């Protein structure tokens, strides 16, 4: 029995509370019906609500206490046990944490030994280092220790075990009491006039509110996780170098140059090329689809173009690396053998490679958003222009586009924000060399690429070379957020104009 | 004689300015057609590249050989004790294959100057392991001759697929022209051929030296477990949040902040969610690195805004008369929402969820940061806990991993992996479109 409980007392407790919850539901429902003399119409709420109310009061407080208990108990035990270890027992080069993990290992070892039957429960509590070879004993039971167990650690471990056992029983008792108490209160309240539905609905509303605020929690999580590590980074690295330096040269032996400017240059250069591809194509496609195309063409071309937006970015990345890059090398980089006979490009990864492919990816973003916006321009404005004798294209250029301009600018800003935050295309297509150069055929690197390379593989969260990724992430977040807020503001303002 | 040409100032004759304007009109229209054509052309190029380069991954070159499972090599004691047989490593099996190939060459009368060991080098490094696994499963067959279909080396496979030519291997240490002559002879004999390779779809990733043995199966399971986490968390939370915002939330500044927040979260770069996952789930909560559970949590946060936005749209499309009718017959606000509005909005919610899941399935960047790349995902998970907590890759991460290995044989597999990924995405989107068509209600 004791063994069984040691395996998973918490799991058993959860199952117990759940069973009690089900019991409370059934009992409260029946009690309500009895109170109403079997006539549900006499009750304030439907009988099920009395059941739900009881189940709620049984389970929620109990699980709440359980979670708190599981978080707090280890801390309390640790504090109590640490006090037992005298300062001089902590040898040089060691720390309280290391000793504590020894204590835990010995305690777990003793438990394993008791379970295996190598030690009685009383013996585990009473053995001492002077008359037992604890290390050998534990090793026999599969717990290998780095050094001999000293008396203080053993005593601490024994104390740790006893506190843990006490804590466990106490937890079971308290939670059982809370659950039973909840069930009791709910059953006592179950009378004909009790407003069970209102109680249950208030609780459900609370759940809905918690779900809705999770969005805020995510944002807070994003900001704080990056902010704290960024602050750590700026403690280790001068901010002047980060924002104003001109070299990016991480060096894991320390003394790195970590400046964002070369990365920002690469990011913006690639994004601008992408926009040069995406904006004309996307905008003209949107104009044709919304102004000229008949329904058949529209129904076919629009979803086909939107497929481009549904293709995962890893596919575009591979396309850049293995198709567009080599093609550009054939075009610009093969010297005499090449198509143009020039030798300007040395590798498949370049700003142009990534920019072109990213441009293709952005076409549907620009076209769908602009399409919506052009369609929102009232027909009366076009009719007015036609009535004055303007051709269709003149109407579009001189009436529709100026009217839609703010919205289109918003769409372009949204596309720009996507381009800046895009990762896979630049990781595979842009290269890894940080430099500020005007030549689009050279490999350059971007903010997102560097975040990936600084945070993958073995990372040491105490070195500025790793922490810089968080500062880069925060910059990226602020940059894209700014663009989005601006774009949404413009689009919203524009929409109001014609509503 | 009368002159039939139109008079100079006729209405039927366009003046120079009108001609110019009409030309501008035609030009403008042509730009639009050209833009759409370019967009569609790009789509076409992309798809043909994927299919053209990726289908090769579903075929693999196999060599059929009769192998003598010599008792003297595999079970020296002759007592068929599994523990003893296990002691023979894959190196012990290599001579058996070399002997089998030598015999094959002799039987078919192929002339080659190669030593048996060099002949056997056209086989995959995986072949010995395949043979060993078979013997360990069928110890009773030791001593007999069994027909095997072995994977060949990726260079041989590339030769059959046209990726490797006699010219391109001039500096290649892994294969020689003499070996290619042998390959040609074996093709003529029919022992060596390309076949459909199921192992690419179901198998595990393999190390750098064995691209021919690498498969997508294990990473597909990784993606599956991630999607289960996303579905289990994002759907209920997303729907609950939408119901609150759409049906219950009072119009005040807190609700405004939440709304602005959600629309901004939808546009946050995915890599930022990866940083969040690394900092919160791995560094702070100490969840295991590379685990699909962590991947699923990160993708949940990323998918939530998408699901909330589409759920709110479908809740909004349920006409107020439904709510009024429910309230009119005495339902509470909560009952009207859960009993009437939610069921009517369900098809729209489902469609949005599937599209959100498809988006999450193709997402790569956050997975790089929580460590789902950079190792060989070779162990299929056993059970749900292991599937959620053991290190695994995911489909897009596996494709990235192969793309990084800089070997044409792995590139082919990356393209093939993309085909599998796209099949999943197309299926999911098709289901979403079908649901919408089937259940969409115009009020």
Instruction: Report the distance separating Cα A105 and Cα A82, nearest Å.
Output: 15
Chain B hits for A318, Cβ within 8 Å: 399, 403, 414-415, 418
pTM higher than 0.80, yes or no? Answer: yes
Using alpha carbons, list the distances in angstroms from residue B1 to B4, B241: 9, 87
Contact (CB, 8 A) for B106 and B83: no
Q: Using CB atoms within 10 Å of the CB of residue A27, give its burial: 0 to 12 exposed, 13 to 18 middle, 19+ buried.
A: middle
Q: What pLDDT is stored for residue A498 in this prediction?
A: 66
Q: Where in chain B is the domain with CATH 1.10.3720.10?
A: 217-442
Give the one of A301, A312, A315 whose C-beta lies nearest to B36's C-beta.
A301
Tokens of B22: 């009409």
Instruction: Report the distance separating Cα A279 and Cα A253, nearest Å.
Output: 44
Give the one of A292, A427, A477 whose C-beta lies nearest to B268's C-beta.
A477
Q: Are residues A37 and A173 in the same domain?
A: yes
Give the one of A282, A319, A484 whose C-beta lies nearest to B267's C-beta.
A484
Instruction: Report the distance separating Cα B394 and Cα B274, nearest Å.
Output: 14
Encode burial over B285-298: b for 16+ CB neighbours within 10 A, e otherwise.
Answer: eebbebbbbbbbbb
List the pLDDT tens digit at each of the 499 positions of chain A.
Answer: 334 434 467 788 889 999 999 999 999 999 988 888 888 888 888 888 999 999 999 998 999 999 888 888 878 887 888 777 776 666 655 566 667 777 777 887 777 777 777 777 777 777 776 666 777 777 776 666 766 677 777 888 888 888 888 888 888 899 999 999 999 998 888 888 888 899 899 999 999 999 988 888 888 888 888 998 899 889 888 888 888 888 888 877 767 788 899 999 999 999 999 999 999 999 999 999 999 999 999 999 998 998 998 899 999 999 999 999 999 988 887 777 777 777 788 888 899 999 999 999 999 999 998 998 898 889 999 999 999 999 999 999 999 999 888 889 999 999 999 999 999 999 999 888 888 888 888 889 999 999 998 888 767 777 888 888 999 999 999 999 999 889 888 877 776 666 5
Instruction: Report the distance separating Cα A348 and Cα A350, nearest Å.
Output: 6
Tokens of B65: 């050989």
Look at the alpha carbons of B377, B382, B385, B387 in this order and tell me if their dihedral is positive or negative: positive
Average pLDDT over residues B250-272: 88
Chain B hits for A219, Cβ within 8 Å: 261, 264-265
Q: Are residues A81 and A169 in the same domain?
A: yes
Q: How far is A150 from chain B (nearest CA, A)?
A: 30
Q: What pLDDT is stored for residue A311 in this prediction?
A: 93
Q: Please, which residues 288-307 of chain A have a Cβ atom closer than 8 Å to chain B?
A: 288-289, 291-292, 301, 304-305, 307
Residue B193 sits at φ, ψ, to 5 deg, of: -155, 165
Q: Which of B22, B253, B268 should be substituted to probe chain A, the one whose Cβ sees the most A Cβ atoms within 10 Å?
A: B268
**Spatial CA neighbour of A277 closest among A56, A425, A108:** A425
Range of the domain at A204: 195-236
Instruction: Report the distance separating Cα B186 and Cα B190, nearest Å.
Output: 6
ipTM: 0.90
Q: What pLDDT is stored for residue B4 in this prediction?
A: 63
Give the one of B238, B400, B425 whose C-beta lies nearest to A310's C-beta.
B425
Q: Are residues A115 and A226 in the same domain?
A: no
Q: What pLDDT is stored for residue A93 in this prediction?
A: 54
Q: What share of chain A is helix, strand, coil (3-state, %, to 5)?
A: 75, 0, 20
Q: How far is A17 from chain B (nearest CA, A)?
A: 23
Q: What pLDDT is stored for residue B210 in this prediction?
A: 86
Interface contact A314-B35, CB threshold 8 A: no
Interface contact A423-B49, CB threshold 8 A: no
CB atoms within 10 A of CB A443: 23
Interface contact B43-A304, CB threshold 8 A: yes
pLDDT, one tens digit per residue, over B326-372 is: 999 999 999 999 999 999 999 889 999 999 999 999 999 999 998 88
Interface contact B365-A424, CB threshold 8 A: yes
Q: Are residues A136 and A201 in the same domain?
A: no
pLDDT, one tens digit per residue, over B175-230 is: 888 888 888 888 888 888 888 988 899 888 888 888 888 889 999 999 999 999 99
Instruction: Report the distance separating Cα B395 and Cα A356, nearest Å.
Output: 25
Give the one of A284, A451, A461 whose C-beta lies nearest to B275's C-beta.
A451
Using alpha carbons, list the distances in angstroms from residue B246 to A134, B167, B259, B309: 64, 67, 10, 10
Q: What pLDDT is stored for residue A1 in this prediction?
A: 33
Interface contact A452-B368, CB threshold 8 A: yes
Residue A135 sits at φ, ψ, to 5 deg, of: -60, -45
CB atoms within 10 A of CB A50: 32
Q: What pLDDT is stored for residue B8 in this prediction?
A: 67
Contact (CB, 8 A) for B295 and B367: yes
Looking up tokens 């995911």 gives B394
Q: Find how far residue A109's CA is from the centre of its chain.
A: 37
Instruction: Report the distance separating Cα B193 and Cα B189, nearest Å.
Output: 10
Q: What pLDDT is stored for residue A289 in this prediction?
A: 93
Q: How far is A126 from chain B (nearest CA, A)?
A: 35
Which residue does chain A place closest to B330, by CA atoms?
A: A45
Mean pLDDT of chain B: 87
Interface contact A315-B43, CB threshold 8 A: no
For chain A, the domain total comes to 3
Chain B hits for A221, Cβ within 8 Å: 276, 280
Q: Are residues A171 and A309 in the same domain?
A: no
Contact (CB, 8 A) for B155 and B172: yes
CATH number, domain with residue A479: 1.10.3720.10
Q: Which of A236, A268, A292 is the last residue of a domain?
A: A236
Q: Residue length, chain B? A: 443
Residues ≥6 apart with Cβ < 8 Å to A381 = A399, A400, A403
Tokens of B243: 């119901």
Residues ≥6 apart with Cβ < 8 Å to B85 = B74, B75, B135, B136, B139, B142
Q: Is A470 on the interface with B (CB under 8 A)?
A: yes
Instruction: Report the distance separating Cα A480 and Cα B269, nearest Å.
Output: 8
Q: Are residues A276 and A354 in the same domain?
A: yes
Residues facing residue B148 across a β-bridge: B65
Q: Which of A171, A205, A236 is the last residue of a domain?
A: A236
Instruction: Report the distance separating Cα B158 and Cα A34, nearest Å.
Output: 80
Q: Please provide the CATH number assigned to the domain covering B217-442.
A: 1.10.3720.10
Q: How far is A363 from chain B (nearest CA, A)?
A: 7
Is A249 in a helix, a strand, or coil? strand
Q: What pLDDT is stored for residue A142 in this prediction?
A: 67
Q: What pLDDT is stored for residue B219 in this prediction?
A: 92
Q: Please, which residues 256-275 of chain A have a Cβ atom closer than 8 Å to chain B?
A: none
pLDDT, one tens digit per residue, over B66-78 is: 888 887 777 777 7
Chain B hits for A197, Cβ within 8 Å: 332
Q: Are residues A279 and A219 in the same domain?
A: no
Q: Are residues A158 and A209 in the same domain?
A: no
What are B248-256's contacts with CB under 8 Å, separation 24+? B248/A205, B248/A208, B248/B333, B249/A212
Q: Find how far residue A41's CA is from the centre of its chain.
A: 49
Contact (CB, 8 A) for A270 and A419: yes
DSSP-assigned states of every residue in A174-192: HHHHHHHHHHHHHHHH-ST
Q: Are residues A79 and A135 in the same domain?
A: yes
Using alpha carbons, list the distances in angstroms from residue B23 to B19, B26, B27, B37: 6, 5, 6, 21
Which residue does chain A place closest to B421, by CA atoms?
A: A312
Q: Is A462 on the interface with B (CB under 8 A)?
A: no
Q: What pLDDT is stored for residue B126 in this prediction?
A: 83
Give the one of A292, A394, A414 whose C-beta lies nearest to B29's C-beta.
A292
Contact (CB, 8 A) for B58 and B416: yes
Using alpha carbons, list the distances in angstroms from residue A359 to A34, A271, A351, A354, A440: 71, 8, 12, 8, 14
Instruction: Report the distance separating Cα B219 and Cα B200, nearest Å.
Output: 11
Of the pLDDT bands very low, low, confident and very high (cuts 50, 70, 90), residue B15 is confident
Instruction: Report the distance separating Cα A26 and Cα A187, nearest Å.
Output: 11
**Spatial CA neighbour of A365 closest among A325, A422, A308:** A308
Which residue does chain B place closest to A423, by CA atoms?
A: B365
3-state secondary structure chain B: CCCCCCCCCCCCCCCHHHHHHHHHHHHHHHHHHHHHHHHHHHHHHHHHHHHHHHHHHHEEEEEEEEEECCHHHHCCCCCCCHHHHHCCCHHHHHHHHHHHHHHHHHHHCCCCCCCHHHHHCCECCCHHHHHHHHHHHCHHHCCCEEEEEEEECHHHHHHHCCCCCCCCCCCCCCCCHHHHHHHHHHHHHCCEEEEECCHHHHCCCCCCCCHHHCCCHHHHHHHHHHHHHHHHHHHHHHHHHHHHHHHHCCCCHHHHHHHHHHHHHCCCCHHHHHHHHHHHHHHHCCCCCCCHHHHHHHHHHHHHHHHHHHHHHHHHCCCHHHHHHHHHCCCCHHHHHHHHHHHHHHHHHHHHHHHHHHHHHCCCHHHHHCCCCCCCCCCCCCCHHHHHHCCCCCHHHHHHHHHHCCCHHHHHHHHHHHHHHHHHHHHHHHHHHHHHHHHCCCC
Q: How far is B364 from chain A (nearest CA, A)?
A: 7
Contact (CB, 8 A) for A328 and A441: yes
Instruction: Report the distance separating Cα A258 and Cα A254, nearest Å.
Output: 11
Q: Which of A312, A361, A484 should be substituted to probe chain B, the one whose Cβ sees the most B Cβ atoms within 10 Å?
A: A312
Q: Are residues A284 and A335 in the same domain?
A: yes
Contact (CB, 8 A) for A227 and A406: no
Tokens of A289: 């689809």
Which runs of consecutive H residues, i.e. helices, occur in A190-312? Answer: 196-236, 239-244, 261-287, 295-310
């Amino acid at each position: 029995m004791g063994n069984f409980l040691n395996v998973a007392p918490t799991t058993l407790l959860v199952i117990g509370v759940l069973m009690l919850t089900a019991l409370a539901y059934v009992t409260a429902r029946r009690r309500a019906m009895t109170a109403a003399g079997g006539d549900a119409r006499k009750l304030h709420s439907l009988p099920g609500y009395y059941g739900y109310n009881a189940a709620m009061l049984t389970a929620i407080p109990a699980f709440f206490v359980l979670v708190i208990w599981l978080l707090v108990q280890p801390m309390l035990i640790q504090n109590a046990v640490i006090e037992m270890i005298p300062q001089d027992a902590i040898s040089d080069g060691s720390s309280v944490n290391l000793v504590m993990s020894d204590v835990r290992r010995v305690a777990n070892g003793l438990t394993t030994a008791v379970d295996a039957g190598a030690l009685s429960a009383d013996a585990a509590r009473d053995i001492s280092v002077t008359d037992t070879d604890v290390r050998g004993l534990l090793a026999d039971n599969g717990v290998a220790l780095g050094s001999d167990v000293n008396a203080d650690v053993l005593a601490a471990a024994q104390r740790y075990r006893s506190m843990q056992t006490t804590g466990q029983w106490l937890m079971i008792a308290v939670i059982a009491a809370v659950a039973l108490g909840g069930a009791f209160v709910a059953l006592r309240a179950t009378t004909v006039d009790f407003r069970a539905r209102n109680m249950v609905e208030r609780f459900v509303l609370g759940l809905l509110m918690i779900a809705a605020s999770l969005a805020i929690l995510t944002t807070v999580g994003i900001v704080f996780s990056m902010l704290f590590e960024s602050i750590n980074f700026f403690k280790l690295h001068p901010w002047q170098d980060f924002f104003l330096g001109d070299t990016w040269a991480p060096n894991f032996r320390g003394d790195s140059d970590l400046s964002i400017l070369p990365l920002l240059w690469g990011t913006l250069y690639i994004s601008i090329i992408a926009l040069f591809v995406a904006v004309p194509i996307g905008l003209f496609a949107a104009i044709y689809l919304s102004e000229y195309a008949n329904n058949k063409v529209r129904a076919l071309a629009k979803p086909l173009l939107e497929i481009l937006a549904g293709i995962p970015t890893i596919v575009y990345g591979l396309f850049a690396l293995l198709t567009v890059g080599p093609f550009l090398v054939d075009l610009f980089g093969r010297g005499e053998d090449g198509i143009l006979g020039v030798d300007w490009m040395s590798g498949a990864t370049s700003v142009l490679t990534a920019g072109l492919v990213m441009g293709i990816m952005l076409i549907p973003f620009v076209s769908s958003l602009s399409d919506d916006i052009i369609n929102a321009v009232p027909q009366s404005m076009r009719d007015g222009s036609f009535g004055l004798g303007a051709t269709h294209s003149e109407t579009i250029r001189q009436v529709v586009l100026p009217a839609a301009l703010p919205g289109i600018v918003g769409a372009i800003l949204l596309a720009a924000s996507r381009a800046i935050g895009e990762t896979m295309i630049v990781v595979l297509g842009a290269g890894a060399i940080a430099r500020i150069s005007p030549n689009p055929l050279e490999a350059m690197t971007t903010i997102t690429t560097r975040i990936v390379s600084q945070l993958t593989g073995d990372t040491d969260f105490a070195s500025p070379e790793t922490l810089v990724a968080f500062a880069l992430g925060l910059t990226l977040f602020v940059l894209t957020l700014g663009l989005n807020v601006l774009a949404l503001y413009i689009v919203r303002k524009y929409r109001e104009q014609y509503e | 004689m009368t002159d039939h040409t139109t008079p100079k100032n006729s209405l039927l004759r366009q003046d120079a300015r009108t001609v110019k304007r009409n030309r501008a009109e035609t030009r403008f229209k042509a730009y639009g057609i050209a833009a759409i054509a370019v967009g569609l052309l790009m789509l076409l190029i992309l798809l043909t590249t994927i299919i053209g380069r990726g289908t090769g991954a579903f075929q693999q070159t196999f060599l059929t050989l009769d192998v003598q499972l010599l008792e003297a090599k595999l079970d020296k004691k002759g007592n068929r004790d599994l523990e003893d047989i296990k002691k023979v490593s894959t190196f012990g099996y290599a001579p058996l294959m070399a002997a089998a190939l030598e015999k094959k060459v002799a039987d078919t009368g192929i002339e080659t100057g190669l030593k048996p060991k060099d002949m056997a080098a056209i086989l995959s490094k995986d072949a010995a392991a395949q043979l060993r696994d078979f013997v360990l499963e069928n110890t009773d067959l030791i001593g007999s001759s069994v027909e095997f279909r072995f994977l060949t080396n990726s260079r041989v496979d590339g030769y059959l697929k046209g990726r490797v030519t006699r010219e391109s291997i001039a500096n290649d240490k892994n294969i020689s022209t003499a070996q290619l002559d042998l390959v040609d002879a074996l093709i003529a004999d029919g022992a060596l051929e390309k076949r459909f390779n199921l192992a690419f779809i179901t198998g595990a990733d393999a190390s750098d030296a064995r691209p021919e043995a690498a498969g997508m199966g294990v990473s597909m399971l990784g993606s599956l477990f991630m999607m289960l986490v996303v579905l289990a968390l994002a759907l209920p939370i997303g729907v609950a949040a939408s119901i609150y915002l759409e049906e219950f939330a009072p119009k005040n500044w807190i609700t405004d902040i939440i709304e602005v927040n959600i629309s901004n979260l939808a546009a946050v770069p995915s890599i930022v969610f990866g940083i969040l996952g690394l900092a919160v789930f791995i560094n702070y909560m100490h969840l295991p690195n590379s685990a699909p559970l962590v991947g699923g949590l990160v993708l949940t946060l990323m998918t939530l805004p998408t699901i909330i936005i589409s759920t709110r749209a479908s809740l909004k499309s349920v006409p107020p008369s439904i709510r009024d009718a429910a309230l009119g017959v005495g339902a509470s606000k909560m009952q009207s929402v859960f009993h009437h509005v939610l069921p009517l909005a369900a098809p729209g919610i489902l469609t949005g969820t599937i599209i959100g899941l498809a988006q999450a399935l193709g997402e790569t960047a956050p997975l790089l940061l929580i460590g789902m790349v950079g190792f060989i995902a070779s162990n299929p998970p056993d059970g749900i806990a292991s599937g959620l907590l053991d290190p695994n890759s995911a489909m897009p991460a596996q494709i990235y991993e192969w793309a990084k290995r800089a070997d044409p044989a792995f590139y082919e597999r990356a393209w093939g992996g993309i085909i599998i990924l796209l099949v999943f995405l197309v299926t999911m989107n098709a289901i979403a479109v079908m649901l919408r068509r089937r259940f969409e209600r115009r009020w």
